[in-house]
Amino acid sequence: EVQLVESGGGLVQPGGSLRLSCAASGFTFSDYWMTWVRQAPGKGLEWVANIKQDGSEKNYVDSVKGRFTISRDNTENSLFLSMNSLRAEDTALYYCARKHPAVGTPLDFWGQGTLVTVPS
């Protein structure tokens, strides 16, 4: 059974840092692109970043470029999101998701999310 379990969220002051983790199991982690998606309270989905199977390609939404870094450890079946210079608008539930093998960017398995709160 595919499982994605996020951790590392919490309350952090503006300008602070956090590192989110996502532990994957039930599939060959190194075979898949992985993605972070966030959802602010009561709002819609926002794509944040993704990373290729071997970590050689990474993409970021403009609003986090230069502040967030996505990475992975295929030996530990783990995905990470390092977040610096956090702002109130980064407050959201952060989901780790696996990209379906199909063409494009469909996300076929999602974790339960970890909540990041940055007070204004």
Partner 1 sequence: QSVLTQPPSVSAAPGQKVTISCSGSSSNIGSKFVSWYQQLPGTTPKLLIYEDNKRPSGIPDRFSGSKSGTSATLGITGLQTGDEADYYCGTWDISLSFGVFGGGTKLTVL
In the set 34, 107, 116, 118, which binds partner 1 (CB under 8 A)? 107
Q: Which is nearer to partner 1, 75 or 103 (CB)?
A: 103
Of 29, 32, 60, 68, the residue at the interface with partner 1 (CB under 8 A) is 60
33 near partner 1 (CB under 8 A): no
| Residue 114 touches partner 1, criterion: CB under 8 A | no
57 binding partner 1? (CB under 8 A): no
What tokens were used for 47? 């794509």
